[in-house]
């Protein structure tokens, strides 16, 4: 089975023009993404390589896509029924007992950050915190 591979990946500005597409076997396609990942370190190539070579499954790919681009990373990507079921189960079981609520309340005592959620400095700080959290999660998922 042949796969279409973008010589310059779309995530690096490549398009769907015929000059930018080549047909490869699945193994060749995975290898090209491995090379791109090792050369440029782009997470999109890591996902393509690991997914095409069956080192990770679709659920892990979807999880990692969301860490790369947030909502945009998974925009237009359909979730598997199993993935939807897991999300639903997690949402149903997320209950805050009074002990947890009290801990959160105490930790927030005197915190003025909530008044500044719209400030540029707050958004930048939160962005950095989330990038670090997603990086830890990605490394754990990918076994890196």
User: How sure is the predictor about 143, in pLDDT bands with cuts at 50, 70 and 90?
Assistant: low
Phi and psi at residue 86, to the nearest 5°: -60, -45
Q: What is the pLDDT of residues 3-46, one digit of tens each?
A: 899 999 988 888 899 999 999 999 999 999 999 999 998 888 99
**Whole-angstrom Cα distance, residue 144 to residue 15?**
31
In this predicted structure, what is the pLDDT of residue 77? 62
Buried b vs exposed e over 19-55: b needs ≥16 C-beta within 10 Å? Answer: eeeeeeeeeebbebbbebbeeeebbbbbbbbbbbeee
pTM for this entry: 0.51
- Using one digit for the tens of pLDDT, what is the confidence trace for 46-80? 989 999 999 998 878 877 777 665 545 555 566 67
pLDDT confidence of residue 32: 94
Judged on CB neighbours under 10 Å (0-12, 13-18, 19+), 68 is middle
What was the pLDDT predicted at 74?
A: 55
């Amino acid at each position: 089975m042949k796969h279409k591979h973008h010589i310059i990946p779309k995530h690096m500005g490549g398009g769907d023009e015929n000059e930018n597409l080549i047909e490869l076997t699945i193994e060749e396609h995975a290898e090209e993404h491995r090379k791109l990942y090792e050369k440029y370190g782009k997470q999109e190539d890591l996902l393509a390589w690991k997914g095409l070579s069956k080192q990770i499954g679709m659920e892990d790919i979807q999880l990692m896509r969301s860490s790369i681009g947030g909502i945009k990373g998974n925009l237009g990507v359909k979730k598997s029924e199993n993935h939807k079921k897991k999300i639903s189960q997690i949402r149903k079981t997320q209950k805050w007992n009074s002990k947890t609520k009290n801990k959160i309340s105490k930790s927030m005592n005197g915190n003025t950050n909530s008044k500044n959620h719209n400030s540029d400095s707050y958004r930048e700080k939160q962005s950095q915190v989330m990038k670090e959290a997603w990086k830890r999660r990605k490394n754990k998922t990918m076994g890196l």
